[in-house]
């Protein structure tokens, strides 16, 4: 079979764990994290380089990588993904959601904060707002019906403010 070179800047890839048909045209896909070594073991014709493409040279059928390597290709598929527009450029209190790691970091920041500002109007922002509304309603219901929570827990939950800025 044909040799395939996959160039990725991420050490962890997404692999399909389960594919379940829901309707004639719709399927439920469950993804899992998979390493390059696992992919290469499963598919011997695939070679994975941890690098980044910086230039496409269609006139010579080559790509140039950040490492300085040039790769000649017969066919090229660019799967660049969506790049989030991040604001704040690495400031401590500004977190851009891009992957599992940034989401985990964000979750710990959410637990420790008394206010959150969401900037954006995409699917992630909408999902976050919906989840927080459900969480806050559940917390209010729990604190009003349960006398076991301390007054400081009740105040902390009620004082959490969420701001949503649509760009």
E strand or H helix at 38: helix 36-42
Interval 143-152 mean pLDDT:
58
Query: How much is the pTM?
Result: 0.50
Burial tier of 71 (Cβ tally within 10 Å: 0-12, 13-18, 19+): middle
Q: Is the pLDDT of residue 95 over 90?
A: no
Q: pLDDT digit string (tens) for 101-143?
A: 677 778 888 778 877 788 777 777 777 777 777 877 787 777 7
The tokens describing 129, both together, are 């707002």
Closest among 96, 4, 85, 75 to 44, alpha carbons compared: 4
Of 36-45, 70-79, 111-120, 146-155, the poorest mean pLDDT is in: 146-155
Higher local confidence (pLDDT), 158 or 18 = 18
Closest among 161, 150, 152 to 113, alpha carbons compared: 161
d(CA 103, CA 133) in angstroms, rounded, equals 18
Give the confidence band of 17 by pLDDT, cuts at 50, 70, 90: confident
Q: 95: how many CB neighbours lie within 10 A of its CB?
A: 19
């Amino acid at each position: 079979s044909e040799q395939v070179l996959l160039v990725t800047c991420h050490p962890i890839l997404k692999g399909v764990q389960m594919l379940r048909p829901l309707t004639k045209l719709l399927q439920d896909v469950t993804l899992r994290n998979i390493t390059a070594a696992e992919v290469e073991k499963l598919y011997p014709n695939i070679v994975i380089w941890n690098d980044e493409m910086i230039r496409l040279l269609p006139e010579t059928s080559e790509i140039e990588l950040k490492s300085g390597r040039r790769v000649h290709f017969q066919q090229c598929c660019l799967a660049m993904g969506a790049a989030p527009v991040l604001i704040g450029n690495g400031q401590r209190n500004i977190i851009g959601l891009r992957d599992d790691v940034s989401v985990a970091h964000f979750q710990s920041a959410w637990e420790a904060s008394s206010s959150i500002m969401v900037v954006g109007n995409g699917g992630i922002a909408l999902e976050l707002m919906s989840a927080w509304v459900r969480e806050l309603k559940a917390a209010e219901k729990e604190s009003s019906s349960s006398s076991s929570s301390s007054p400081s827990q009740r105040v902390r939950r009620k004082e959490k403010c969420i701001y949503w800025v649509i760009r």
